[in-house]
Structure 1
């Protein structure tokens, strides 16, 4: 029994010794060096700059507005009188024609009363005028004879002497006269007449309506003479000048008209950051309120180049490639049209990106694409 135990112990010790020897023989495997990371180089499409004199065509849209356009208001309160259907949109009127009337019975009575009061005041001083100002009496006598409370009062006699003027002022004659004129001016507001030959385009009140003071009644305009306001960016407005020819086109019908730049407003609209210019168009077949396309040839830009708008950096710079590295080049954007931009600040031979990598940065290493890469 003891002999068997000794054999087992001897075998176990032998196994341990052999395992130890094998471990020392094999040893720890040497550490492998980490693989060197391969730097990724973006392949980019480029364009070589060739500066040129580039004509700029400004295209935009605008709304046609009549130059002579009047919004009609009721300056007084009262009922709008029947007119046989004349005050309707589309009806034409000549200058001086009645557009609409407001019932004026009360004001007309006030005018007659004011005239009567004036004539009474003047009649009481006629004897004094005859005695103290005999040379001027015939004119005033003729004036009083021609005046009538119902039909109207003519203008005062001319060349009133200083003495007579003071006398009439002291007796209240002149103040009474101007009270009449004020009442007549107020009465005239009850009849609204056409200020020029034109057409009624809007009628927002109908006869029989009681109008309040300052109520909008309609819109009256003169067709044939129109103006179109067009918004453009600040850099483009400097390329325009008054008198330049403009092509105006109605997109639905395809009709076109010739116009000219009438005014330029270089002030920047705070809400849109745009400036505007105004085109004058003379056309009988153009309608107020129509939206049209406007095209005008502006001044040509020297030493400029056309680039894709997507390559701009905040519309102030773009990337150039020098020795396979990206560099930011400041530029000046002259005009933007669609997806392209006309810029200045580049040099002939500059290599610029046609497409900007999404992770582009100053100093980034790139490889320029060549046709051989496709072969």
Structure 2
């Protein structure tokens, strides 16, 4: 040890210093590497988050792509997602329904017209010629059964009543004669033959009186008259039933014939809806079929049942007539009013259907706003059968999918605003 020279000591010290420097350098490199590893791990975490978000968007894209592959429509653009919270949905009044199976009725529309119910319409005639003395019913007036609506002075009626009065007088005489002959026969004063002849005469007079009374009843005149009334020619015309005077052809002082239609009275509580049926639609119209009736000039609708289908075709029109009897308590359905009649032509069961009001047009394609987390998204669809209330969805929507009903137009407006902002 004592033999170590100064130069050797310097060399040993240099080696030790170099070793220390190398150790410090190696430790610095390891620390830098650790920091780099942490940055790499953070980058991996961010990438995983972006991948997760991309998967969410990819699910919507896949659903849209599936819709496109099935004929659902054009690809959706950005901004067609409408973000709404549950509170906002409640405040805007948007209701949610679920797509599912439905029963769709295919309708056929036929023209028609409202007419009088001929079973409750009467054309009043005098039945006797005469001169009008009084008219108490006016056009459009409601009359009751048995109400006097006009009075006619008729010589024919005077003759009929005179015949009745004469028969009544002869009957009275025949009864007195019969009573006297019966008393004499019972007292053994007169022969039985006289008694029987008086009885026969009385029976004949009774028949004559009944005959005269029936003639007056057939004319609508009172069968009981008195010679002291001085009005043997007064003929009162009465309403046959409750109804409205819809036609009037009579005036004071006018001479009318026995077959002249002076009034038309109709009970408008029911009317007929006559349907014009072409040859192509005859197989669709059946007695008992349910129909929906709409007035072309009014906002009035009614439902009814076909009660009659004509068996003949019109020579000029080449159409047949079907009929529905409608209740008309408020006098809304007026004779002469043109109508359209919706008849069920076919009933079809579909697997997926939505409310017809919810379908909107986006990118010139039908679309439905379906419920997704955080709001709604416009989903292109392919529509099929529709009855005006429910529409079949042939592609683009699965059963059980929730969609917006009322308020879908509002969603379309919001979607349009979003698309404009992004542009």
TM-score in terms of structure 2 length? 0.46
Corresponding position of 2:323: 278
**Unaligned stretches of 5+ residues in structure 1:** 1-52, 134-163, 303-375
Question: Does the alignment pair 1:65 with 2:116?
Answer: yes
**Unaligned stretches of 5+ residues in structure 2:** 1-103, 187-195, 222-234, 349-423
Corresponding position of 1:97: 147
1:201 to 236, 246, 249: 246
1:117 to 170, 175, 181: 170
CA drift at 1:233: 1.9
Decide which moves more: 286-295 or 258-267.
Answer: 286-295
* 8 Å Cα contact 1:169-1:175 kept in structure 2: no
Corresponding position of 1:55: 106
Q: Output the CA distance in 1 between the equivalents of 2:114 and 2:197.
A: 56
Decide which moves more: 86-95 or 114-123.
Answer: 114-123
2:268 to 223, 245, 259: 223
Give the match's secondary structure for 2:246.
strand
Alignment of 1:1-375 (within 5 A): 55-67=106-118, 68-83=120-135, 86-104=136-154, 106-107=158-159, 108-128=161-181, 168=200, 172-185=204-217, 188-189=220-221, 190-283=235-328, 284-300=330-346
CA drift at 1:232: 0.9
* 8 Å Cα contact 1:168-1:174 kept in structure 2: no
Q: Output the CA distance in 1 between the equivalents of 2:152 and 2:339.
A: 42
Q: Which of the pair is proportionally richer in helix?
A: 2
Q: Output the CA distance in 2 between the equivalents of 1:218 and 1:59.
A: 33
CA drift at 1:198: 1.0
* 8 Å Cα contact 1:110-1:183 kept in structure 2: no
Corresponding position of 2:69: none
Corresponding position of 2:377: none
Q: Output the CA distance in 2 between the equivalents of 1:77 and 1:269.
A: 38
Q: Output the CA distance in 1 between the equivalents of 2:218 and 2:173.
A: 22
Q: Output the CA distance in 2 between the equivalents of 1:258 and 1:121.
A: 65
Give the match's secondary structure for 1:297.
strand
Give the match's secondary structure for 2:308.
strand
CA drift at 1:167: 5.1
Give the 3 Å change call, closer, same or farther, for CA 241–186 of structure 1 in structure 2.
closer
TM-score in terms of structure 1 length? 0.51
Q: Output the CA distance in 2 between the equivalents of 1:101 and 1:253.
A: 40
Give the 3 Å change call, closer, same or farther, for CA 247–213 of structure 1 in structure 2.
same
Give the 3 Å change call, closer, same or farther, for CA 97–55 of structure 1 in structure 2.
same
* 8 Å Cα contact 2:171-2:202 kept in structure 1: no
String of CA shifts for 1:256-284, please: whole Å, max 9, x gaps.
22222111122222232222110111122
Count matched residues: 219
